[in-house]
Amino acid sequence: MNGITLGAGGLIALDRNDRRVLVLIERAMELATFSIDAAARHRPGAPLNGLDATAVGILLARTRTSDVVDAHVAICAQRTGQMVITSDPGDLRRLAPELEFLVV
């Protein structure tokens, strides 16, 4: 595991003490590979500006979708090679089918 990126659903699962998410977060923190994505006000160092904003725009155009937050989640997870914890993988799979997902 290269780490995890939490979508909004991942944060909700964390708030609900979902055991699967807690175990993954513990392991990711041991590896120093824990990120919170755009849905949670961005992880430190990953604001939606500059290169990320351009990458999000290109991804949305290429996939003919319009969810900026999902696209930013996908871009962050692609860049770091991290699994995405989400409650709604459908749009993310369309944006980045190569990503690994944990659905909560």
The span from the CA of 2 to the CA of 37, in Å, is 15
Mean pLDDT of 85-97: 93
User: What pLDDT was estimated at residue 48?
Assistant: 76
pLDDT at 37 over 50: yes
User: For residue 12, what is the DSSP state?
Assistant: H
Structural domains in the chain, CATH included, are 4-103 (3.40.50.1010)
Mean pLDDT of the chain: 84
pLDDT at 45 over 50: no
pLDDT at 84 over 70: yes
pLDDT at 6 over 90: no
Structural tokens at position 83:
């699994």
The span from the CA of 104 to the CA of 91, in Å, is 15
